Structure 1
Amino acid sequence: MAHSARSAHISRGTRIGLFAAAVLSAAASLTACSTADSAPERAGAAPAERPLLTKAEANKVVDAYQKVNNQANEERSAALMAKAEGGALLAMDKAYFTQIPALRKSEVEKNLAPFLYVNRTFYIPPASAKADWFLVRTQGAQLTHGKPGKLWSKDVRFLVFKRSADGWRMVVARDFEGADAAKEPHIALDKAGLMKLADPAAKIGRTAPSQLPGLVTDLWVTGGPNTALADTAARRVGRSWYTERADNLDGHAWVDFKKAAPHAGDVFAARTADGGALVLSDSAVDETFLAKDLQSYISLGETDKPFVKRNPDARMDKVVRHYAQTEIGVISADGKPAVYSIGTQVTKVDATPTPDI
């Protein structure tokens, strides 16, 4: 992923400006990638059936991913990144590359620094499940002189690799971080040590895994006043986008969020040992700013401008930011949902200049 050294929680940019406030913008969070040992096979466990792929093969998939990702980061190449990633994650990293000319050089160098995924544990479904994805529990580390260096942090990251027509692609990467690292669930395994899948559409208690993206986007659209989501740091930050949406607009523009069609619409769910589910998914929202009168206008921020090819410095009557998101959450055994990390990246900006008077 681009932004390899970034933490996986939401990163809120400065706001769009009104009138003479040529302020700006939402860049966004994302994180990325790293190496090492595969988990040991369970002693004495006689395989009941064939896995989707072996742990050795999965380890090679991750190795190949990091190599291509690091090269794509070095070359700032979206085309090369497409050989490592897919889905919403690829859309987010392509957008980050678009923003690079407007970002601080030191920030870009840090985010795109060479990395490895270490301390790997693989969760692989049985081939009979007809799944096209597997899960990796890992940590990120610096790549120093060709070898694993210092860990980014004690945070734990889960990666989803999905099989495409021409190979494996990473499509979601999200963390359990800080105090929430203790909330990481144990993945349920069958007698052969293979991951038990959860049907995204099947309810656990009152909540199906497929409902997580909608619960997340509702934080943006309504603030989630009656949300079923448990109180977590990620939920609180998500709600802040709604409660702070009009900050710095001085009453000169309307702003709101609407749920949008997700880039991929993937929901990946694994059973947890306590009967719940670990869920990784993608979602999307649009943020619309509309000037209230002929004396008001909207100024694009610097990190929005690379997305607007025609007159990005003009005074705008309407601006729409399109955001792609990925999230990781847990459905408890009694059906209570919680979200622990949300990655948000603006992927497109539509801007309408004010009319000539």
Structure 2
Amino acid sequence: MSRSTTKPSLLHGLAAVSFSATAGAAAALILTACSPGSTAATDDPAPQSSPAPQGLLTEAAAEKIVDTFQSVNNRANAVRDAKLLGTVEAGQVYEQDSADYKLFKTWPTKEQKTYTQAFTYEDREYLIPPASSGANWFAVTSSPSDDPKGNRRSLAVFDKVGDTYKLVMALWTDMKSIPKIDTDRHGFISPVDPAKKVGTLAPNEISAVYEDFFETGGKTASHKLASTPTTKESVRIYKVRNDGDAGTWSTTRFFAADPAHPKVYALRLENGGVLALVPTAHTEEQILKPAYMGNFLITPSKREAVFGNTRRTVITNEYQGQAIVELPRTGKPLAHDLEYQLVDSR
């Protein structure tokens, strides 16, 4: 997972609820005492109290998983070892972070130095589902040690990949606008089926809808998703796509793409809505205008050249992303946080 200082473009946040139940604790069995040979109350045994439900894992086990990730992540970041990182990371976040390693040489010296310094996840709040939910993932929010003022929080999901829990999605947020996550009396969260509609959309429908902001400026998406700073920024990118000198000799367009890892993670909010972590993806195509086709070639940018430095008539860039989206019971879903990374250029 990248440091908060290297991916600062995300918005708003989450009020987390700490996990407090002791998974696996069983209540004592209470029996009515009788003297030998007595028949009193033998036909009416005292009721048993139900054992407390178990969590997917204990808070101590979750903390160990996060500690291991933190240590390995820091070592991998220091030397940009994607294979090492892959032992503790997968999913969309790995698509982005392994691309970070490739793009590292194009970053300013100050940003490189910050990225390679070790950091820790402070003030953690674990969001653990009950074992009975069938979910194989848990979440955690935390503050990074390189943000002493506590302006940002991370929301991270660890899912079971094979036999190992790995970080699969992670976004930075400022914890101000998202309602509190719902927990039961044992402190467990309530995972939600991503295919189940919440109001007008299901969590697993968000990605395809959102990419319309890049493809058309939101002709369809603006009617289905609420206007937020995140959607406004996406529309701005669409509007300026052909500005500048490059727009005189080339045309740039965006196309929705399939996320590399399509799994959506959703959990219930205290107000009855749903919070979803959604994978997103699109391609960006820059193509020479017909009048320039026979005589010119496009030179890749410094970042694009990392993946392919051949001059060409068409440059196609692939972006893989993640988003935090709130789906209220009524009204349009709100995209609170969104992040893309260039992962290929051809």
Q: TM-score, normalised by structure 1?
A: 0.81
Once residues 274 and 174 of structure 1 are traced to their aligned partners in structure 2, the CA distance between those partners, rounded to angstroms, is 22
| SS at structure 2 position matched to 1:98 | helix
Name the count of aligned residue pairs: 309
Q: Is the 1:175–1:328 Cα contact (8 Å) retained in structure 2?
A: no
Deviations 1:110-165 (A, max 9, x none): 233211111111111111111111111211113xxxxxxx5364122211111111
2:259 corresponds to which letter in structure 1?
P
Pairing 1:103–2:107 present: yes
What are structure 2's unaligned runs of at least 5 residues?
A: 12-16, 28-50
Q: What is the root-mean-square deviation of aligned Cα atoms in Å? A: 2.2
The residue that corresponds to 2:332 in the other structure is 336
Once residues 232 and 111 of structure 1 are traced to their aligned partners in structure 2, the CA distance between those partners, rounded to angstroms, is 29
1:151 corresponds to which letter in structure 2?
P
Return closer, same or farther for 1:6/1:102 CA change in 2, 3 Å cut-off.
Answer: closer
| SS at structure 1 position matched to 2:313 | strand
The residue that corresponds to 1:141 in the other structure is 145
The residue that corresponds to 1:93 in the other structure is 97
What are structure 1's unaligned runs of at least 5 residues?
A: 12-37, 143-149, 351-357
Pairing 1:305–2:305 present: yes
Q: Is the 1:68–1:84 Cα contact (8 Å) retained in structure 2?
A: yes
Once residues 285 and 171 of structure 1 are traced to their aligned partners in structure 2, the CA distance between those partners, rounded to angstroms, is 19
Shift of 1:7: 4.0
Shift of 1:10: 5.8
The residue that corresponds to 1:214 in the other structure is 208
Once residues 162 and 152 of structure 1 are traced to their aligned partners in structure 2, the CA distance between those partners, rounded to angstroms, is 30
Once residues 173 and 334 of structure 1 are traced to their aligned partners in structure 2, the CA distance between those partners, rounded to angstroms, is 27
| SS at structure 1 position matched to 2:113 | helix
The residue that corresponds to 1:41 in the other structure is 20
The residue that corresponds to 2:278 in the other structure is 281
1:254 corresponds to which letter in structure 2?
T
Deviations 1:47-81 (A, max 9, x none): 74111001111111111111000000011111111
Question: Aligned match of 1:52 in 50, 56, 77?
Answer: 56
1:216 corresponds to which letter in structure 2?
Y
Q: TM-score, normalised by structure 2?
A: 0.84
The residue that corresponds to 2:242 in the other structure is 246
Once residues 297 and 10 of structure 2 are traced to their aligned partners in structure 1, the CA distance between those partners, rounded to angstroms, is 28
**Identical columns (%):** 28
Matches for 1:1-357 after TM superposition, within 5 Å = 1-9=1-9, 39=18, 41=20, 48-142=52-146, 150-151=147-148, 153-177=150-174, 181-226=175-220, 227=222, 228-248=224-244, 249-292=246-289, 293=292, 294-308=294-308, 312=309, 314-350=310-346
4+ aligned runs moved over 3 Å, structure 1: 45-48
Return closer, same or farther for 1:338/1:263 CA change in 2, 3 Å cut-off.
Answer: same
Once residues 166 and 149 of structure 2 are traced to their aligned partners in structure 1, the CA distance between those partners, rounded to angstroms, is 23
Deviations 1:290-316 (A, max 9, x none): 1112234322111111111xxx1x432
Q: Is the 1:126–1:195 Cα contact (8 Å) retained in structure 2?
A: yes
Once residues 269 and 40 of structure 1 are traced to their aligned partners in structure 2, the CA distance between those partners, rounded to angstroms, is 17
1:117 corresponds to which letter in structure 2?
Y
Q: Identify, as 1 or 2, the structure richer in strand.
A: 1
Q: Which has the higher contact order (CA 8 A, sep 6+)?
A: 1
The structure with more radius of gyration: 2
| SS at structure 2 position matched to 1:49 | coil
The residue that corresponds to 2:32 in the other structure is none
Once residues 204 and 8 of structure 1 are traced to their aligned partners in structure 2, the CA distance between those partners, rounded to angstroms, is 29
